[in-house]
Amino acid sequence: MIGLNKIKTAVFISGTGTNLKKLYKFSLTRISPIEIDLVISSDKNAKGLMFSKKKKINTKVFNFKKRIIIENKILKYLNKKKIKLICLAGFMKILSRNFIRKFKGKIINIHPSLLPKYKGLNTHQRAIKNNEKFSGCTIHFVSHKLDSGKIILQKKVKIYKQDTPKSLAKRILKVEHKLYPKAIIKLYC
Ligand code: GRF
């Protein structure tokens, strides 16, 4: 895809931003259908913001405590910047039904489990506690029901006997980094 008509994308983060880094790297490749024009963070101390500023990506921090007011501000800003796709990447806030509807359902998320199993938090701990043989990660459309939108792509990751939530999270994160770009290619190429 030549740079002129790439899909203007915003990445929403709350923390480390390792998925953001991989998405940014992918966005610079010729095969990428997206360009990352904006990073929005729910936390002013998110490490992903430092990366974004270093790469001169436009960044905004919003305090999601006043969700309705903030969401309307964000929607206005997204429209002003002609953003067409939102990628949630380690984003820890819940977007309202109104926001999701207003953004024409063009919001995708990465979740560290094999959905529909283990929606919500502490997915690795719960999978290990339940003696699951596999876990994994899933890229899905964001709907008004938490971690329940249409699945785009997912990848299984074997759970070893000696795994801790930390060791499993580390291994799944590596798979997430490869899966997110693949899901975008599946959607738009
Ligand atoms: C990842 O496990 C992701 O699946 C979850 O948040 C974690 C941190 O992501 N949503 P990142 O390093 O901030 O991209």
- Say what the alpha-carbon torsion angle 148, 151, 157, 158 is, to the nearest 10 degrees: 70
Mutate which of 173, 177, 179 for ligand 1 pocket (most atoms within 8 A of beta carbon): 173
Distance 65 CA to ligand 1 centre (A): 21
Dist CA 112 CA 136 (whole Å): 6
Dump pLDDT digits (tens) for 48-70: 999 999 999 999 999 999 888 99
Nearest atom, ligand 1, residue 169 CA: 2
**Which residues partner with 88 through β-bridges?**
12, 109
pLDDT along the chain (189 residues), means of 10: 80 98 98 98 97 98 91 96 98 96 92 98 98 98 96 98 98 98 96
- Sign for the CA dihedral angle at 18, 67, 62, 43 comes to negative
Dist CA 52 CA 23 (whole Å): 12
Q: Ligand 1: does its nearest atom lie under 6 Å from the Cβ of 132? A: no
Per-residue pLDDT, 20 = 98
Ramachandran angles phi, psi of 186, nearest 5°: -60, -35
Using an 8 Å Cβ cutoff, are 125 and 165 in contact?
yes
**Is 140 known to be catalytic?**
no
Single pTM value for the model: 0.96
Give the Å distances, CA to CA, from 171 to 60, 66, 79, 177.
Answer: 30, 35, 37, 10
Distance 172 CA to ligand 1 centre (A): 10
Q: Please give the helix or strand (H or E) that residue 85 lies within, else none.
A: strand 85-88
